[in-house]
């Protein structure tokens, strides 16, 4: 049986209400969703992680159950949101996981609030705009749903680059479920734009050498949104960073292989 989940709202220092879920016991593990994503993005892995940790997941400002303030959403503010959520949940120190844009936010947390972290996992992300290897323009166009007429069409386009081709072929029902959910819960356009600009303008690469906590970089080898070279760059820029590549998996590898993802994460978080 999965540990019970407790939902609440945290009010940030600038008055924005963020929706938060807490599940499990043990050392706190805070998880930051990526661009346009809500807490739900980690649903495939949270129940298993919560058998080992007190998992804290929140909807970033602008999406899900959180308020939608006007932009911009600077990375410094998004990083502060993260530590304020942790403080409100009683986690003065915590382990941190961030995927994609959430990984960029996590890097800012590690650099700007180093006393709060004990371990860091960066998934499907890169070191910022100046040192990142960009995706192909057509991949970005698909992610943004350019030309789509409905939220469902836009997210179906995004799924063509969020998942590996083989996974899309083998699990069409999973893709259909994700599209249906996003169609029923569309992301406010102004929030998506504010998040995208924050991700695009993120520039923390020159300070990654300051990260002193143990760090693990996770990446799918078939990620077309954040090419693997970005993860390789992170392992070189963060002192002592370890790495694990998910062979044949795409950007959302933790959806494609949740069991292996949990296994790798728990081993690292335990000090393995």
Omega into 72 within 30° of 0, i.e. cis?
yes
- Pick the range with the lowest mean pLDDT from 8-22, 38-52, 119-133, 207-221: 119-133
pTM for the model? 0.96
Instruction: Give percent above pLDDT 70 in the chain.
Output: 98
- Pick the range with the lowest mean pLDDT from 56-60, 164-168, 184-188: 184-188
3-state helix, strand, coil in the chain (%, to 5): 45, 20, 40
Cβ-count burial of 230 within 10 angstroms (0-12 exposed, 13-18 middle, 19+ buried)?
buried
157 closest CA partner among 166, 149, 165, 148: 148
pLDDT of residue 13 exceeding 80, the answer is: yes
User: Which alpha helices (DSSP H) does 12-56 contain, by range?
Assistant: 46-49
pLDDT of residue 98 exceeding 70, the answer is: yes
Position 73 scores a pLDDT of: 95
For helices 189-201 and 101-112, what crossing angle results, to 10°?
A: 60
pLDDT of residue 130 exceeding 70, the answer is: no
Position 71 scores a pLDDT of: 85
- Pick the range with the lowest mean pLDDT from 46-60, 127-141, 231-245, 250-264: 127-141
54 closest CA partner among 81, 31, 88, 84: 31
Which has the higher per-residue pLDDT, 203 or 43?
Answer: 43
Position 5 scores a pLDDT of: 82
Confidence of residue 180 (pLDDT cuts 50, 70, 90): very high
Confidence of residue 1 (pLDDT cuts 50, 70, 90): low
Position 2 scores a pLDDT of: 65
pLDDT of residue 102 exceeding 90, the answer is: yes
Average pLDDT over residues 36-44: 96
């Amino acid at each position: 049986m999965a540990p019970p989940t407790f939902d609440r709202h945290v009010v940030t220092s600038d008055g924005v209400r963020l929706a938060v879920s807490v599940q499990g016991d043990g050392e706190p593990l805070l998880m930051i969703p990526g661009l346009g994503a809500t807490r739900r993005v980690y649903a495939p892995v949270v129940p298993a992680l919560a058998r080992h940790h007190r998992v804290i997941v929140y909807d970033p400002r602008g999406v899900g159950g959180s308020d939608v303030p006007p932009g911009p959403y600077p990375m410094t503010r998004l990083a502060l949101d993260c530590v304020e959520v942790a403080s409100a949940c009683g986690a003065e120190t915590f382990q941190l996981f961030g995927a994609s844009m959430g990984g960029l936010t996590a890097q800012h947390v590690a650099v700007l609030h180093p006393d709060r972290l004990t371990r860091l996992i960066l998934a499907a992300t890169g070191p910022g705009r100046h040192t990142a290897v960009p995706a192909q323009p057509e991949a970005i166009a698909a992610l943004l749903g350019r030309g789509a007429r409905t939220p469902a069409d836009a997210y179906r386009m995004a799924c063509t680059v969020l998942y590996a081709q083989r996974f899309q072929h083998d699990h069409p029902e999973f893709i259909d479920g994700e599209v249906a959910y996003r169609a029923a819960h569309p992301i406010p356009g102004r929030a998506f734009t504010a998040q995208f600009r924050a991700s695009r303008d993120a520039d923390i690469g020159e300070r990654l050498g300051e990260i002193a906590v143990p760090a693990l970089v996770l990446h799918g080898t078939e990620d077309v949104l954040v090419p693997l070279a970005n993860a390789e760059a992170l392992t070189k820029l963060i002192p002592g960073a370890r790495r694990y590549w998910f062979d044949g998996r795409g950007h959302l590898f933790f959806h494609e292989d949740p069991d292996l993802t949990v296994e790798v994460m728990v081993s690292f978080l335990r000090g393995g």
